[in-house]
Structures are given as structure tokens and as C-alpha cells.
């Protein structure tokens, strides 16, 4: 084991029930700071439900989802915070939030969790540039003095807008979309839309970026380019990533840590190597009983 890395996200006993259906059952895991944590599993395993709980789109039936950025010693206050009934503890040098207590927009605005969607959700009629500017709403709203100063056209607001455009320009370069900046987002090819959605999420200045199947519908060379892009983001920015992905080439290449879900239950948790050789994982993916796994393994030559 390498030196312990402080976590960014700590999920404990997360359960999500929809009526009688248990989509996620008693899930606990930790995502390390600065790492890429992958959440994999067969279709219907509950991965997107976990995402929706973390990002506040669902209110979990049970469990605690704690996110912390900045000073690590804030983790010591986790229990006190839970007792207090408040949703977060903010200090000058960092913050600790209980995401299950926050509505979706605050999870993004305060707790700095950004996400992308399985079926891409851009603003199709707005330009590529506008998509990236809307993502900087929080900063610009504050700079515009909740519209008052902005309406008067003060210099401070114009500077803030200029900075926002510069940030957008940076991400346009990173995604290779500079030439398409003034085109409507819906006119981009599929791969471009996917990169734009990631760039838009990054424009919110997140501490944790949640990517829901970013490689869906990409061909092998595009998948490889996406892996490089995600690695570059992690290298250049202080951001941790949580990744749902079916494309194992991407998962195995960039993930530091893999969690496997099946029917809402965690069946494996470890490095790529550990997970790849876990009989339970193989069984879940190939759909056989545990006893038959050795036979299957022999067949596929592991």
C-alpha cells in the first residue's frame, strides 16, 4: 500500500429505494483525492442512481455522503457535523459537506461537485461559448451584483465577464472546439458534444467531477483520445474524478481505483488488477454462479 491519500468523498451505507425496488443497497466506498475512481457494473446495477444521490438529484433513503475539499483535518468534524443537523461546515481553508442534505443546485454551487449525463445534456440552441459561460453562472452572478451592477455595466462586471470568456477560451482550446465556438452546441458531432459537456462541467471549477459514461458511443481511437483528455485534466487541475463507464479499455487505463456494483450491492473494490481477477466480478459480468467461475475462467484463459 502506498501512503494513505485523504479522501474527497466518503459514502457510507448508502441505500436508495424506489417504492419496493432497492436500487442501491448499503453501499460504502471512498474516493481518494486527486484520483480517478471508476464505478462499474452490468446494466441496471445502480451506478447512475449512486451518481444521482451524490449530485443531489435523488435524496437517498439512507446513508451519509460526505465531501471535503481544502484542509484535510475537517474530516475530524464529520461526526459533529452529522449530529448538528447542518448541511456543511465551511472554513476559510476548506469545507466539509453532507451531500444528502443538499438540493442538487447547491451540491454543484457550494460543494463543487460537477457532473455530466449519460444522455448528453447540453443547451442545444445556445452556442458552444454560451454553454461554457452559463456554467460560470455562480461567479458571474456574484460579479454582476445579482444583476444590479451588471445592468449598470460597471467595470468590475465587465472584467469578470472578460475573465469568464478567457476561461471558456482555455477550455475551447483543450477540447479542440475553438473553431466551433460560435456554432450552436447541437451542431457539434457527437464526440465534440461529449467533450463540450466535460469542459462545461469543468468550468464550474469542481472539486469532484462525476462522469456518467463519457466514452459511450465512441470508437476505439476516440476512446483513447478521451482517456488522454481525462488524464490531462487530472494532471493540470486540482480535481478528483468519479467515473461510470462500460468501456473497459478506458476504465482499466485511467482508473486508480475501481468499485464494482451488481444489483445495487458492492461486489468488489480495489485496484484495476484486483478487480479484474475477482471471481465475483467475472461472474457478475458473465452471468454465472460463483461455483462455476473457475470453469469459466479456465475457458477464457485467466
Partner 1 sequence: MPDEAAARPNLIRALRETAVTALLAFGLFLPLIGFNTVQNIRNELVLETRWPLLLAIVAILAGLRFLHLVVVAPLMAERARASSRPATLPTTLPSWAMPAVIGFVLIYPLLAMLIAGPGAGKWIDNFGIQILIYVLLGWGLNIVVGLAGLLDLGYVAFYAIGAYTCALLGKQFDLSFWMLLPLAGILAAFWGVLLGFPVLRLRGDYLAVVTLAFGEIIRLVLINWKDVTQGSAGIGGLPRPTFFGLPFNASPDGFAARLGLEFSPLHRPLFLYYVVLAVVVLTAIVIGRLRQLPVGRAWEALREDEIACRSLGINTTNAKLAAFASGAFFGGLAGALFTARQGFISPESVNFSESALILAIVVLGGMGSTVGVAIAAVVIIGGTELLRELGFLKQIFGAEFDPAQYRMLLFGFAMVLIIAWKPRGFIGMREPTLVLKRRKAIDAELREEHG
Q: Which residues bind partner 1 (CB under 8 A)?
A: 55, 57, 104-106, 108-109, 114-115, 117, 121-127, 129-130, 133-135, 137-138, 140-141, 144, 147, 150-151, 153, 165, 168-169, 172, 178, 181-184, 186-187, 200-201, 204
Based on CB atoms, which residue is closest to partner 1, 4 or 189?
A: 189
Q: Which is nearer to partner 1, 145 or 270 (CB)?
A: 145
User: Nearest distance from residue 2's CB to partner 1, in Å?
Assistant: 33
Q: Where are the alpha helices (DSSP H) in 110-261?
A: 128-134, 137-143, 148-152, 155-175, 190-203, 220-236, 248-254
State which residue, 95 or 267, has the beta carbon closest to partner 1. 95
The nearest distance, CB 234 to partner 1, in angstroms, is 20
Q: 67: helix, coil or strand? A: strand
Cβ closest to partner 1, residue 25 vs residue 115? 115
CA 162, 154, 202, 68 torsion-angle sign? positive
Contacts of 3 (CB under 8 A, 6+ apart): none
Find the shortest distance in angstroms from Cβ 236 to partner 1: 21
Please say which residue, 29 or 157, places its beta carbon nearer to partner 1: 157
Q: Is 215 in contact with 250 (CB distance < 8 Å)?
A: yes
Minimum distance from CB of 146 to partner 1 (Å)? Answer: 8
Task: Return the number of the residue (30 or 55) whose C-beta is nearest partner 1.
Answer: 55
Residues 22/264, Cβ–Cβ less than 8 Å: yes
Residues paired with 148 in a beta bridge: none
Query: Using CA of residue 126, residue 129, residue 135, residue 136, what is the dihedral sign?
Result: negative
CB 175 → partner 1: shortest distance, Å? 13
Exposed, middle or buried by CB within 10 Å (0-12, 13-18, 19+), for 145? Answer: middle
Q: How near is the Cβ of 63 to partner 1 at its closest, in Å?
A: 21
Amino acid at each position: 500500500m502506498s501512503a494513505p491519500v485523504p479522501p474527497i468523498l466518503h459514502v457510507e451505507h448508502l441505500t436508495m429505494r424506489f417504492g419496493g425496488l432497492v436500487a442501491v443497497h448499503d453501499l460504502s466506498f471512498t474516493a481518494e483525492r486527486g484520483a480517478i475512481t471508476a464505478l462499474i457494473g452490468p446494466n441496471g446495477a445502480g451506478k447512475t442512481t449512486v451518481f444521482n444521490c451524490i449530485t443531489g438529484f435523488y435524496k437517498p433513503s439512507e446513508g451519509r455522503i460526505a465531501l471535503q475539499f481544502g484542509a484535510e483535518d475537517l474530516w475530524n468534524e464529520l461526526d459533529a457535523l452529522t449530529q448538528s443537523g447542518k448541511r456543511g461546515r465551511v472554513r476559510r481553508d476548506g469545507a466539509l459537506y453532507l451531500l444528502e442534505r443538499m438540493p442538487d443546485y447547491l451540491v454543484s454551487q457550494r460543494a463543487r461537485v460537477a457532473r455530466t449525463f449519460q444522455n448528453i445534456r447540453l443547451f442545444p440552441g445556445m452556442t458552444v461559448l454560451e454553454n461554457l459561460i452559463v456554467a460560470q453562472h455562480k461567479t458571474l452572478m456574484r460579479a454582476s451584483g445579482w444583476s444590479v451592477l451588471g445592468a449598470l455595466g460597471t467595470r468590475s462586471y465587465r472584467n469578470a465577464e472578460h475573465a469568464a470568456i478567457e476561461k471558456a477560451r482555455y477550455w475551447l482550446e483543450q477540447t479542440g472546439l475553438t473553431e466551433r465556438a460560435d456554432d450552436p452546441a447541437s451542431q457539434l458531432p457527437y464526440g465534440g458534444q461529449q467533450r463540450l459537456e466535460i469542459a462545461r462541467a469543468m468550468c464550474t471549477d469542481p472539486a469532484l467531477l462525476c462522469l456518467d459514461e463519457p466514452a459511450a458511443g465512441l470508437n476505439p481511437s476516440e476512446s483513447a483520445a478521451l482517456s488522454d483528455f481525462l488524464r490531462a485534466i487530472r494532471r493540470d487541475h486540482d480535481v478528483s474524478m468519479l467515473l461510470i463507464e462500460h468501456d473497459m479499455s478506458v476504465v482499466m487505463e485511467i482508473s486508480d481505483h475501481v468499485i464494482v456494483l451488481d444489483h445495487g450491492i458492492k461486489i468488489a473494490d480495489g485496484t484495476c488488477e484486483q478487480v479484474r481477477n475477482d471471481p465475483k466480478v467475472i461472474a457478475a459480468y458473465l452471468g454465472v454462479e460463483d461455483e462455476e467461475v473457475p470453469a469459466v475462467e479456465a475457458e477464457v484463459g485467466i
